[in-house]
């Protein structure tokens, strides 16, 4: 009976055995001259490996690509489905020492668009910058939650990075809102507060980002002079805002809300400026039941500080050519932090 492992399509081999059979026989297991199917397969694999064009690829490059996608927040099953393979293929590749060439080509060709099309959950870093840029454009968390149909906590968790993934349909809602942000640019004190909060978190308006969420480098390489000019302008604007707030406080007796609307800044910033200037306020009751308002404290130290600030305001109003930054820094002792110093080494590093 012929051997079941014998390859029927293989050429006939002479035996070369002293006791052997005739050439071209179909012998049983005792025939050592005729190769089996398993022997032929192993010989072909060895030949492909020797030639360098075999069916197996370097698994290290594939594993490195999978690790990069995992660091972005994608799952192994999403990577496998995006490559058109079994959902456990990426996991098996991470645990194995070899990888089929076809599998390696498919995994290395996976893009974010492919993952986005098949994944049920999207990593937060891919959509966090969009909500953060909308926050920097002036949208408050309440406004974004109302437009998206979410809760305020859900929007806040995405912006702060408290969650790791969001549903794919929620990511689509964020994309739609991001595309329509120019049609409804927010204004007013709420927008100012949202911009200041987003700036503290490190976000910029949507115009500063590329399509894949990378922050654009808008400054040229030789930008030292431009950086110096920008910082001079910024600190002069900050000093002018401080003088305006103090002027509206002492000359016109406005409260924090009125000053915020007049100077287009946040009411919290008004309180910080008045506190940094050394002015002391107390809360007193008004004619309305339960209502209070803040007034200057009647103390000798406060009176001396008010006289000093009024003298600086008179000097600023008489001579408009004075540098407001030097006036605020030298006369009032404010704006002495490192961010307002024009250190050449720090400027070169920033530029």
Claim to verify: residue 113 and residue 128 sit in the same structural domain: no
d(CA 114, CA 82): 5
Length of the chain equals: 351
Question: Does residue 308 register a pLDDT over 90?
Answer: yes
Claim to verify: residue 166 and residue 268 sit in the same structural domain: no
Claim to verify: residue 112 and residue 140 sit in the same structural domain: no
Question: Does residue 247 register a pLDDT over 80?
Answer: yes
pTM of the model: 0.43
For residue 341, the enclosing domain spans 224-348
Q: Decide if 248 is inside a domain.
A: yes
| Mean pLDDT score, 255-268 | 88
Q: Give the chain's mean pLDDT.
A: 77
Highest mean pLDDT among 46-60, 108-122, 149-163, 236-250 belongs to 236-250
Q: How far apart are the first and last CA of the chain?
A: 85
pLDDT band at 248 (very low <50, low <70, confident <90, very high): very high
**50-59, 61-70, 106-115, 237-246: range with lowest mean pLDDT:** 50-59
d(CA 97, CA 221): 45
Q: How many domains does the chain have?
A: 3
Question: Does residue 39 register a pLDDT over 50?
Answer: yes
Q: Decide if 23 is inside a domain.
A: no
Residue 83 near residue 107, CB atoms below 8 Å: yes
Claim to verify: residue 289 and residue 332 sit in the same structural domain: yes
pLDDT of residue 201: 83
- Tell me which of 95, 118, 141 is where a domain ends: 118
Find all residues with CB under 8 Å of 164, minimum gap 6, and list them.
Answer: 73, 123, 124
Q: Decide if 203 is inside a domain.
A: yes
pLDDT of residue 241: 92
Q: Decide if 328 is inside a domain.
A: yes
Find all residues with CB under 8 Å of 193, minimum gap 6, and list them.
Answer: 140, 266, 268
Claim to verify: residue 89 and residue 197 sit in the same structural domain: no
| Mean pLDDT score, 57-80 | 85
| Angle between the N-to-C axes of helices 256-263 and 224-250, in degrees from 0 to 180, rounded to the nearest 10 | 140
Claim to verify: residue 131 and residue 87 sit in the same structural domain: no
Claim to verify: residue 138 and residue 249 sit in the same structural domain: no
pLDDT band at 239 (very low <50, low <70, confident <90, very high): very high
Q: Which has more pLDDT, 48 or 237?
A: 237
């Amino acid at each position: 009976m012929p051997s079941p492992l014998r390859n029927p399509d293989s050429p006939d081999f002479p035996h070369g055995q002293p006791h052997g059979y005739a050439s071209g026989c179909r012998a049983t297991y005792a025939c050592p001259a005729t190769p089996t199917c398993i022997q032929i397969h192993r010989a072909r694999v060895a030949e492909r490996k020797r030639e360098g064009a075999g069916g197996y690829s370097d698994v290290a490059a594939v594993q490195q690509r999978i690790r990069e996608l995992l660091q972005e927040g994608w799952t192994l099953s999403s990577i496998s489905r995006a490559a058109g393979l079994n959902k456990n293929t990426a996991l098996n590749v991470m645990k194995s020492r070899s990888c089929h060439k076809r599998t390696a080509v498919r995994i290395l060709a996976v893009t974010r668009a492919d993952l986005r099309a098949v994944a049920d959950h999207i990593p937060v870093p891919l959509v966090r910058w969009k909500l953060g840029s909308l926050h920097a454009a002036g949208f408050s968390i309440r406004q974004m939650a109302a437009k998206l149909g979410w809760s305020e906590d859900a929007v806040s968790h995405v912006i702060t990075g408290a969650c790791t993934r969001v549903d794919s349909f929620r990511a689509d809602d964020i994309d739609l809102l991001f595309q329509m942000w120019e049609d409804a640019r927010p204004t007013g004190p709420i927008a100012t507060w949202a911009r200041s909060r987003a700036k503290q978190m490190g976000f910029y308006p949507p115009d500063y980002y590329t399509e894949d969420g990378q922050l654009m480098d808008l400054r040229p390489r030789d930008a030292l002079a431009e950086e110096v000019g920008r910082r001079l302008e910024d600190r002069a604007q900050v000093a002018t805002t401080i003088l305006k707030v103090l002027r509206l406080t002492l000359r016109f007796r406005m409260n924090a809300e009125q000053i915020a609307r007049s100077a287009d800044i946040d009411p919290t910033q008004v309180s910080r400026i008045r506190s940094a200037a050394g002015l002391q306020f107390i809360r007193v009751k008004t004619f309305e039941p339960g209502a209070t308002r803040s007034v200057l404290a009647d103390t000798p130290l406060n009176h001396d500080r008010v006289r000093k600030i009024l003298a600086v305001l008179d000097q600023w109003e008489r001579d408009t050519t004075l540098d407001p930054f030097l006036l605020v820094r030298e006369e009032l002792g404010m704006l002495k932090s490192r961010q307002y110093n024009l250190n050449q080494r720090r400027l070169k590093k920033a530029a």
